[in-house]
Amino acid sequence: MTLQLKPAHKAVREYYSDIRELAEKGLFSEGAVAPIFGELLRYCGSQINWTLGEQTSIRRGKKMIRPDGVFFNDFNLYQGAWEAKDSQDRLDIEVRKKFRDGYPTDNIIFQSPDQIIVWQNNREAFNAEISAPEKLIQGLEIFFSYQPPEYRQWEEAAEKFKEQMPNIGAGLLDLIDKEYRINKAFVQSMEIFTTLCQDSINPNIAPAAVKEMLIQHLLTERIFRKVFDNPDFTAKNTIAVEIEKVIAALTSRQFSRSGFLQSLDHFYKAIEITAATIQDYTEKQFFLNTVYEKFFQGFAVKSADTHGIVYTPQPVVDFMVRSVEDILHKEFGRSLSDKGVHILDPFVGTGNFIIRIMREIRKTALPDKYEKELHCNEVMLLPYYIASTNIEHEYYEITGEYKPFEGICLVDTFELAEDKQMSVFTAKNTDRVNAQKQTPIFVIIGNPPYNAGQVNENDNNKNRKYRVMDKHVAESYAKDSKATNKNALSDPYVKAVKWASEKIAKTGEGIVAFVTNNSFVNEITFDGMRNHLAKEFDKIYILDLGGNVRKNPKLSGTTHNVFGIQVGVSVNIFVKKKSSDTPPYAGR
């Protein structure tokens, strides 16, 4: 994509008009002029799918730097930086200062109201006064045209991968079906593995979904070995070990894993080369999360639709974790770092909330918290793998010591409400699940799925039934609702709120912090739910982020929604105390 910018364009005309207006008022400071240029940069970036993050820290070498802006492309790959200065600064002198501080020289734009300097590939690529719009546009075109060769290779490989993925997936399915007919060792391993899946994830799991798990593992384990630099991944991860047993039986006759996947070698190499250019592990996580999302779009569309593969924006995660820490201090005189404050993310995804909590916890308290008091669940295989790897790496980054994370379970959280003894994949995983069920959880935090749990390929992605949780919702939220149509109460996020409420009630006090669909805030169907929440919790805080594109004709597309989805969103924090001397509080 090429930047389309002309002197007559509204964005350019408004930039010069706003700068003149500030000059007439005698406002020349960086704080005054930078936002105006930032708007122009955002406009340019939107044309080529670059996103501007302002005041974002990035790692370059061993140093963390904080330019005025950083651009990432739609794969969450770093594209360039922006540094703003005011009219009083000598821009060439400021450039040298920033480079001494470790600022990047691959693609960075330095700007004042009078001048632009662009550096690319360790040399000055543009330096001119910008009183004339043509010069401004020339500098912007150079900056936004930057594309490292590794990125070009990656984009070409990703496009080819997207085209190949259906055939690769179909080929693996054909191979599995063929071996199932003639390979007794594989049949036996598959039957054992299917039983594990039925016990662990869903008693009605379809054979197609089990096969899909094998294919996901086959296609992604190289990424964990190479990109995450985790060569022992399949030997250390308790679930991967079980799947490798099935893969070993599958390959016991003549199928060669590396031979079959040879046609995808260019894709894997492109991922590895591109990931090697990313110096900061957090940026690498974002990149691989994006690869994961696009992988599902190319291969497992039904899984993506069913489970709602939408990850929580980092500012929302930051806000929720800080809010929980603040409320713990204010209401309980405690902290996330304190002993006895058990923390659970029941829908962990790729680990974003747990990782952010680890950064909030005091470094001296982290080893004990990590070993005993951080808990999370995930029902889907690939995010479970990614979360395990991400959390273990974060611990290593903070402490300098590798330690396997024992707090993660591959399990359907809603199944934990069932009144039965669970057998979940492996003895170790089962022990973790049963221990978590007995643990007094004090903080529950996360992003519940909006269409979770359906892993039967034949039910048109309907939400699956949970005997106990459906009954609990029916006997409370639904029973006390005056609405005629109560179908919306079957939404998974409603079950999640009910499950978390009961878990905290069992502890006797604590906090639930979820980001969810905001339909329960106002709609009549949820009047019973609102009444129960008001009775069960002492304080309720709701940050309604709006964004219901379907119901607001003034909004278009998904740009008005924090998740880029069609339904409205809210951040909800529910606080329960054992004894409260203050009247109930609800704030929105």
The tens digit of pLDDT for each residue in 534-551 reads 999 999 999 998 655 455
Mean pLDDT in residue range 452-471: 57
**pLDDT value at 272 more than 50:** yes
Mean pLDDT of 167-171: 78
User: Where are the domains positioned within the chain?
Assistant: 10-147, 150-305, 310-334+411-580
Q: How large is the average pLDDT for residues 363-392?
A: 90
pLDDT at 473 over 70: yes
CA distances from 340 to 201, 365, 439 (A): 29, 12, 10
Give me the DSSP letters along 385-448.
HHHHHHHHHHHHHHHS------SEEES-GGGGGSSS----SSHHHHHHHHHHHHS-EEEEEE--
Q: Output the CA–CA distances (angstroms, integers) from residue 301 to 46, 95, 461, in the order listed.
A: 27, 47, 10
**β-bridge partners, 65:** 58
Q: Which of 565, 563, 561 is nearest to 547 (CA)?
A: 561
The answer on pLDDT for 361 being more than 70 is yes
Q: Choose between 65 and 137: higher pLDDT.
A: 137
Quick one: DSSP state of residue 372?
A: H
Domain 310-334+411-580 sits in CATH at 3.40.50
Greatest mean pLDDT among 36-50, 265-279, 545-559 lies in: 36-50
pLDDT at 581: 64
* Side-chain-facing half-sphere of 338: CA atoms under 13 Å: 11
425-451: pLDDT as tens digits: 667 778 888 889 899 999 999 999 765
Report yes or no: 347 and 336 within 8 Å, Cβ to Cβ: no
| 539-544 and 342-345 strand pairing | unpaired
Most confident option among 110-119, 209-218, 322-331: 322-331
- Residue 364 banded pLDDT, cuts 50, 70, 90: very high
pLDDT reading at 558 higher than 50: no
Average pLDDT of span 313-318: 86
Amino acid at 126: F
The pLDDT-based confidence of 232 (bands split at 50, 70, 90) is low
Q: Do domains 10-147 and 310-334+411-580 have the same CATH topology?
A: no
Model confidence, pTM? 0.69
CA 116 to CA 132: how far, in whole Å? 12
Residue 472 — pLDDT band, cuts 50, 70, 90? very high
> Which of the pair, 260 or 474, is modelled with greater confidence?
474
Rounded Cα distance, 268 and 161, in Å = 10
Instruction: Count the Cβ atoms, other than its own, within 10 Å of residue 264.
Output: 17
E-assigned strand segments in 478-576: 510-517, 539-544, 569-576
pLDDT at res. 388: 87
For the record, the structure tokens of 104 come out as: 């990047």
Sign of CA dihedral 375, 379, 383, 385: positive
Higher local confidence (pLDDT), 301 or 446:
446
Cα-Cα-Cα-Cα dihedral sign, residues 520, 523, 525, 527: positive
Beta-bridge mates of residue 83:
110
Topology of the domain comprising 10-147 = tt1808, chain A (3.90.1570)
Maximum average pLDDT range among 138-152, 300-314, 495-509: 495-509
